[in-house]
Amino acid sequence: MVAEGPRTSSYSYLNSGRRLAVGGRAGPLFSGGSSARGLVFTRDVQRALANRGSRMLGRVRRTVIVIAVGIAAAVIPFLGAGTASAHGFSSTVYAKISAGDEGHIRTAVELEYDLLIVSAADSGDDDPLFQTGTVAFEAGDADAQAAALKSHASTVLTYVSDRFSVRARSADCRPTQVGDATMGERDGVPYATLLLDWTCPERVAEHEVRSGLFADDEGYVKGTKTIVTYEIDGRSGSAALDAANPSFSTGQAWYERFGEFFLLGAEHLLTGIDHILFLLALIAGSRRLREIVLAATSFTLAHSVTFMLAALGLVEVPGAIVEPVIALSIAVVAGWHLWGIWRRGGHATDLETTRQGHFSLDRAGWIRLGVVFCFGLVHGLGFAGALGIDEAWSWTLLWSLLVFNVGIETVQLTIIALVFPLLIVLRRRAPKAGLWATGVVSAAVSVMGLIWFVQRVSGS
């Protein structure tokens, strides 16, 4: 028998009511009586609470599904109508400059074929170029594309030479096209290459290169970059030109161009929606500061390695493989957090470890870290493809690449420093709201990643 008198319990608030005990007898809750009767009641409460928890977890799971499906239905019509590229409507021109014969300057200028067609045709009022060039582009026929450029070579040359120039001191060098334009690809995008021979009025120790190709005011793309690699005047190096910095001199000191590559790296991450979403997925799925720090460090180390190797030409992976895997990485990392919510409900943000060290993670955290590192290797190849430098090894090139990478890291760390503390505050003050917020973000990111994956695999 249980001793008479009041007894304390975590369920003591129930004592204010009365219930029919097993067998039909009424009495105060936990006020004494048979120990068997109390045991039955305790089991009833435990069973009721367990059922309530199961129902709540079931509602969370169903709601996550509804959110994911709803977001998919909302974004598919918009994304399906757009391009598979996640870097916005911009373009990159590549120019390789070297010394030619008899003091001439030789440049190989690579431009996106479809942009070259519409821009040159518009500038030169050459509608036949637009018609034949567009048909060849839509057919994906490289021979027909080259033939369209050959048939309208004067229009194309005029457009390029009016916006890309080489100067010797204060005098312009005169361009002459060498051979016909040739066709190639960069990351699956058709590119046309024009080989130009520049005759300068005098031999000088340095040259100025200027580019205004595919300018914003043409109305087709925004923020075009021209990546220049050169080996002339006894110097070699790289430069990044845009509307804000349209020219450079080969006589500039190597460190004077670092600011350009820093900004280029920062802008690449800011304008690369796929990389931004991957970072948001990392933040949403990180449960502690140590986890986002380790994930960001792992991602940085991985993409830095492959970025440097690919940019230096030591590793080469086709864009047709890299781009779909980047899209898939977005969906997987975001889906990882959704799976945690599905499996653990309100405990999805708990670490399943009792260790308190700076690098303490549970098994799921370490597995996630490995996945992030592997995907970081692929993202590094994407960064290198965007930069598109094809140049022999030099210390100047190495420093340029490092500065480009520092620009990427600066933006990445800034985003983490701004977003993650807000998430921590939300999780502590309103845990359910924090869980819902990260669930919604992860669902949206995962859906967009899957759509991009399908688009990039199918080539649509």
Neighbour-count burial of 239, counting CB atoms closer than 10 A to its CB (0-12 exposed, 13-18 middle, 19+ buried): buried
pLDDT of residue 188: 75
pLDDT on residue 49: 54
pLDDT at 141: 93
- The whole-angstrom separation of Cα 298 and Cα 391 is 28
332 burial via Cβ count (<10 Å: 0-12, 13-18, 19+): buried
CA separation for the pair 423, 416 (Å, rounded): 10
CB 372 within 8 A of CB 295: yes
At 244, give phi and psi (nearest 5°): -75, -30
| 260 dihedral zone (left: phi>0; alpha: psi -120 to 50; beta) | alpha
pLDDT (0 to 100) of residue 386: 66
Q: What is the pLDDT of residue 304?
A: 86
The confidence score (pLDDT) of residue 451 equals 92
- Take residue 35 and report the two structure tokens written for it: 């120990």
Structure tokens at 101: 């014969």
Contact present, 283 and 420 (Cβ < 8 Å): yes
Q: How far apart are CA 382 and CA 317, in angstroms?
A: 10
Under a CB-based contact definition with an 8 Å cutoff, are residues 104 and 178 in contact?
no
Residue 428's H or E segment, with its range, is helix 395-429
Task: Count other C-beta atoms under 10 Å from residue 288's C-beta.
Answer: 16
Contact 111, 93 (CB under 8 A): yes
Instruction: Name the residue among 382, 403, 88, 400 with its Cα closest to residue 224.
Output: 88
Which pLDDT score, from 0 to 100, does residue 120 have?
Answer: 96
SS3 215: coil
User: Residues in the chain with pLDDT < 70?
Assistant: 1-89, 253-257, 344-362, 386-397, 460
